[in-house]
């Protein structure tokens, strides 16, 4: 399956290559157009995923490699000590992002910034990004941040403020190589990943965060 936002990138090169190739009688143009279309179809692929059934798990919102695991204070949205886990997506990873928990979208906020290479830690502070604040069913706030990179210059939300989402449900994507961060309260959390681990969106558990008793 191909995500619908990718179809223009898939169809246009193929149609253009076929048209120009036919008019000029150059098979190389046809082959080139079809090659670009195939590459775009691969990039915009959107495979089904099957999450583990455990309401206390924080699932990976992205495919890629773990590049950051930090315990720090987050004052802007969560206002508490959090774990921040960063995931780098290269050009060959699936770029559809998924909800790490079941809950409700409290806020979506776009912040303009730079386009530094996404694997650099300074990209977390300086790059263009989109925030998704999700409230888990027990009231626990979870923050997902899409961060653009040197080539990835557009974040695309699939959800709106107020939407209810299931764990593993598609919430957005970033075009062409990028980074994603997930932040959640540190108290009681057990981290399941290490730096360098490869993860899959909607399927790989990043951590276990105990359910609030009043949730």
Q: Would you please indicate which residues are annotated as catalytic (active-site) residues?
A: 178
Q: Give every strand in the sheet of 205-208, ordered side by side.
A: 57-59, 205-208, 190-191
Q: Residue 94 is encoded by which pair of tokens?
A: 């699936």
What is the DSSP secondary structure assignment for residue 127, as one 8-state letter?
B
Neighbouring residues of 36: CB distance < 8 A, sequence distance ≥ 6 = 13, 14, 17
Question: CB-based contacts of 117: which residues, under 8 Å, 6+ apart?
Answer: 123, 149, 150
Distance of CA 163 to the CA centre of its chain: 17
């Amino acid at each position: 399956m191909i995500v619908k936002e990718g179809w223009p990138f898939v169809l246009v090169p193929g149609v253009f290559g076929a048209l120009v190739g036919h008019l000029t009688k150059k098979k190389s143009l046809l082959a080139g157009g079809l090659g670009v279309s195939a590459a775009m179809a691969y990039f915009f692929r959107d495979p089904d995923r099957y999450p583990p059934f455990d309401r206390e798990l924080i699932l990976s919102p992205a495919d890629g490699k773990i590049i950051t695991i930090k315990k720090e204070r987050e004052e802007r949205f969560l206002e508490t000590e959090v774990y921040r886990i960063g995931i780098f997506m290269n050009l060959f990873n699936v770029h559809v992002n998924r909800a790490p928990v079941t809950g409700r979208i409290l806020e979506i906020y776009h912040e303009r910034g730079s386009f530094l290479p996404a694997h650099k830690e300074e990209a977390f502070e300086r790059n263009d990004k989109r925030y998704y604040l999700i409230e888990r069913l027990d009231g626990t706030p979870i923050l997902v941040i899409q961060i653009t990179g040197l080539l990835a210059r557009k974040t695309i939300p699939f959800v709106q403020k107020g939407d209810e989402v299931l764990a593993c449900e598609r919430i957005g994507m970033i075009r062409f190589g990028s980074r994603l961060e997930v932040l959640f309260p540190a108290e009681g959390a057990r981290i399941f990943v290490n730096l360098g681990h490869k993860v899959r969106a909607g399927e790989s558990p990043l951590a276990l965060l105990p359910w609030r008793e009043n949730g």
